[in-house]
Amino acid sequence: MKLAKISSKLGLAALAAVACPLALADDPKWYGGLSAGESRSSIDDTRIIRGLLGSGLTGATIDDDNRDNSYKVFGGYQFNRYLALEGGYFDLGKFGFRATTTPPGTLDGTIRIQGLNLDAVGTLPLWENLSALGRIGVTYAETKDTFSGTGAIQVVNPNPSKWDTNYKFGLGLQYAITKALAMRLEAERYRVNDAVGNHGDVDAVTVGLIYRFGGKTAEPAAYVAPPVATAAAPAPPPPIVLVPVPLARVLTRVSFSVDSDFDFDKVSLKDPARQGLDKLATDLRGVNYDNVLITGNTDRLGTEAYNQKLSVRRAEAVRNYLVIRWGMPYEKVIIVGAGELAPDTRPGECVGEVATRTLIKCLAPDRRVDVEVRGTK
């Protein structure tokens, strides 16, 4: 039995430095996963019939069984946002055929393929949570052939098997559900050498989940604002780092509401925010300003650490829009993550700690991004 090539070309996805907050973490991180789906091989019927007729038979017909279920279990190490090394175990399933001959007889053949792989995996961010994957690697696979005959067919070696090293490659998509959990859809091609000297390919399409273990998620470099003192502060805030901003007066200031200008718990800008930023950028044409200060804020719901990171990411989304869409000098656009430390609501105005609809609505003024244009003249 021989697995014939299926003509198509797959390759590694190109790596590009594109911002993608959730698609992959920046810090090195271990991960593991499981994928399952369907595999398919092509059986070389012409070669099998030629071999039967060459052995003295006068006719033969073949029925193929070239599809099966496949799965793989894998683990990997993410070196950076764009490159990982991944290894695991795969089972491509079992494929077979039945040849009916003249004089009367049958030949049944099956092949089962399983083994180990080691791949280099490249990632190309496409959207906020979506990335393209490309992989190329080596396999060490076992092929177990089984042959049986009746009537005019006699089988000399009914159970040959072989371990062999070969290559594989594939393409796929990955969607980050959270920073720890992601879903994958992949198409892979495995090169196979079987136990009786035949060569071919097996294609597998799988869907799977991956989980990332430990490691801190790196956030973009940002300025951190000092805490705002409140009368009822139970304890001093944790130490923070303040990077000085050049002294300048505020030329203009606009504020964007997270509830109306951002998706909830997201960093994507909605149309109203884009329109407001377009107007701001247009008004600044011809104005000699020193810098643009963008400050992200959150309400007090959630942990302080999470709110700090979320405020930085929202401020960065505004900066990216101004720099990419309007060509503002990157070095003039400063971002600050104030987290929950600079609320607009007054102490005691919004009572409670449980995220009820009433409390969320009351804290809406605290969920904002402030943009200030500063100049010295």
Q: Is 7 or 319 the better-scoring residue by pLDDT?
A: 319
258: number of Cβ within 10 Å: 26
Instruction: Clarify whether residues 57 and 171 are in a common domain.
Output: yes
How far apart, in whole angstroms, are the C-alpha atoms of residue 49 and residue 156? 18
Q: Is 124 or 302 the better-scoring residue by pLDDT?
A: 124
Instruction: Clarify whether residues 286 and 336 are in a common domain.
Output: yes
Instruction: Clarify whether residues 37 and 183 are in a common domain.
Output: yes
Q: Considering its fold, how many domains does the chain have in total?
A: 2
Q: Is 226 or 57 the better-scoring residue by pLDDT?
A: 57
pLDDT digits (tens, 9 = 90+) for 221-255: 445 555 555 555 566 655 555 555 445 577 777 77
How far apart, in whole angstroms, are the C-alpha atoms of residue 345 and residue 336? 20
pLDDT at 366 over 60: yes
9 within domain boundaries: no
Q: What pLDDT does 14 receive?
A: 28
For the entire predicted model, the pTM comes to: 0.52
pLDDT at 11 over 60: no
Instruction: Clarify whether residues 206 and 227 are in a common domain.
Output: no
| Boundary-marking domain end, from 157, 184, 213 | 213
18 within domain boundaries: no
Q: What pLDDT does 20 receive?
A: 35
pLDDT digits (tens, 9 = 90+) for 288-314: 888 899 999 988 888 888 889 988 998
Instruction: Clarify whether residues 261 and 358 are in a common domain.
Output: yes
Q: What pLDDT does 281 receive?
A: 86
94 within domain boundaries: yes
pLDDT digits (tens, 9 = 90+) for 149-164: 898 888 888 999 999 9
Instruction: Clarify whether residues 209 and 230 are in a common domain.
Output: no
- CATH code, domain with 331: 3.30.1330.60
- Pick from 16-25, 37-46, 48-57: least confident: 16-25
12 within domain boundaries: no
2 within domain boundaries: no
Could you list the residue range(s) of the whole structural domain that residue 45 is in? 29-213
Q: What pLDDT does 273 receive?
A: 83
State the amino acid at position 68 in one-letter form: D
| Boundary-marking domain end, from 193, 213, 233 | 213
Q: What pLDDT does 217 receive?
A: 43
Q: What pLDDT does 55 receive?
A: 78
Exposure string over 181-203, b if 16+ CB within 10 A, otherwise e: ebebbbbbbbbbbbbeebebbbb
Exposure string over 318-352, b if 16+ CB within 10 A, otherwise e: bbbbbbeeeebeeeebbbbbbbbbbbeeeeeebee
Q: What pLDDT does 236 receive?
A: 64
pLDDT digits (tens, 9 = 90+) for 69-103: 999 999 999 998 899 999 999 999 999 889 898 88
Instruction: Clarify whether residues 118 and 255 are in a common domain.
Output: no
Instruction: Clarify whether residues 188 and 243 are in a common domain.
Output: no
Pick from 240, 258, 256, 265: which is nearest to 338 by CA? Answer: 240
| Boundary-marking domain end, from 150, 179, 213 | 213
> Two tokens at 377?
């003249």
Instruction: Clarify whether residues 163 and 267 are in a common domain.
Output: no
Find the radius of gyration of the CA atoms of the chain.
30
> Two tokens at 313?
């990411």
- CATH code, domain with 121: 2.40.160.20
